[in-house]
Structure 1
Amino acid sequence: MNGQALVADRTRDTVRQAIERLGAAPGTRSRTPARPGAGRTPARPGAVFVRCPYLLTDYFGIIVSSIAETLDLHGRQLILNAGGAAKDSRVLADLPDRPEIAGALLILPTEEGEELEALRARDFPFVVVDPRTPVPRDIAAVSASHFTGARNVAAHLVALGHRRIGLINGPGDWLASSSRFAGHASALAEVGVLVSPELVSSIEPTSDWGYSAAGRLLDLPDRPTALATFNDKAAVGALRAAHERGLRVPEDLSITGFDDVYLSSSTVPMLTTVRQPLEELGRMAVSLLTRLMEGHTVEALHVELATELVVRGSTGPAPAG
Structure 2
Amino acid sequence: MPDSRRVTVRDIAAETGVSIATVSRVLNDHANVAPRTRDLVLRAVERSRLRATGTRTVYVRCPYVLTDYFGLIVSSIAEALKVHGLRLLLDAGESAQHTDALATLPDEPGVSAAILILPPEDGDRLVALSRTDLPFVVVDPRTPPPPHIAAVSAAHFAGALALTRHLVELGHRAIGVVAGPEEWLAGDARLAGHRAALSQAGVLPMPHHLRHIEPTAAAGHRAAAELLDHPQRPTALVCFNDKLAVGALRAARERGLRVPEDLSVAGFDDIDLSRATTPTLTTVRQPLEEMGRIAVTQLMRVLDGHRPEALHIELATTLVVRESTGPVP
TM-score (norm. length: structure 1) = 0.90
Unpaired stretches in structure 2, ≥5 consecutive residues: 1-12, 28-36, 46-50
- 1:57 Cα deviation (Å)? 0.6
Contact 1:43 1:295 in 2 (8 A): no
Which is richer in helix?
2
- Distance apart, 1:217 and its partner CA: 0.4
Q: 1:184 aligns with which of 194, 206, 227?
A: 194
Partner of 1:27 in structure 2? 39
Deviations 1:141-160 (A, max 9, x none): 00000000000000000000
> What CA deviation, in whole Å up to 9, does each residue of 1:78-137 have, x standing for no partner?
111110111101111112122310010100001111111110011210001000011100
- Per the TM alignment, residue 42 of structure 1 is displaced from its structure 2 partner at its CA by 7.8
Distance 1:121 1:44 in 2: 26
Of all paired residues, the percent bearing the same amino acid is 57
Q: Determine the C-alpha separation between the residues in 1 that align with 2:210 and 2:203.
A: 14
Instruction: Tell me how far apart the structure 1 counterparts of residues 157 and 14 of structure 2 sit (CA, whole Å).
Output: 43
Contact 1:131 1:141 in 2 (8 A): yes
Is 1:229 matched with 2:232?
no
1:26 positional shift: 3.4
Tell me which stretches of 4 or more aligned residues in structure 1 moved more than 4 Å: 11-16, 29-32, 41-45
Could you tell me whether the CA contact under 8 Å between 2:138 and 2:151 is conserved in 1? yes
Residue 85 of structure 2 is aligned to residue 82 of structure 1: no
* Structure 2 counterpart of 1:62: 72
- Secondary structure (helix, strand or coil) at the match of 1:86 reads helix
Q: CA RMSD in A?
A: 2.0
Give, in angstroms, the shift of residue 48 of structure 1. 0.5
Does residue 294 of the first structure (1) align with residue 297 of the second (2)? no
> How far 1:44 sits from its partner (Å)?
9.3
TM-superposed CA distance for 1:60, in Å, is 0.3
Equivalent pair of 2:175/2:236 in contact (CA under 8 Å) = yes
Distance, in Å, in 1 between the alignment partners of 2:85 and 2:218 is: 41
TM-score (norm 2): 0.87
Partner residue, 1:4:
none
With 256-265 and 294-303 compared, the bigger mean Cα shift is at 294-303
Q: Secondary structure at the match of 2:269?
A: coil
Q: Please, which of 227, 230, 239 is the counterpart of residue 217 of structure 1?
A: 227
Aligned-partner Cα distance in 1 for 2:313–2:44:
23
Which residue, out of 256, 279, 282, partners 2:292?
A: 282
Does 2:168 correspond to 1:154? no
Taking the TM superposition and a 5 Å limit, the aligned residue runs for 1:31-110 are: 46-110=56-120
Does residue 303 in structure 1 map to residue 323 in structure 2? no
Opposite residue 158 of structure 1, the aligned amino acid is V
| Contact 2:54–2:85 (8 Å) recurs in 1 | no
Structure with the bigger RCO (C-alpha within 8 Å, sep 6+) is: 1
Q: Which runs of 5+ in 1 are unaligned?
A: 1-10, 33-40
CA contact (8 A) 1:168 1:229 kept: yes
Contact 2:195 2:205 survives alignment (8 Å):
yes
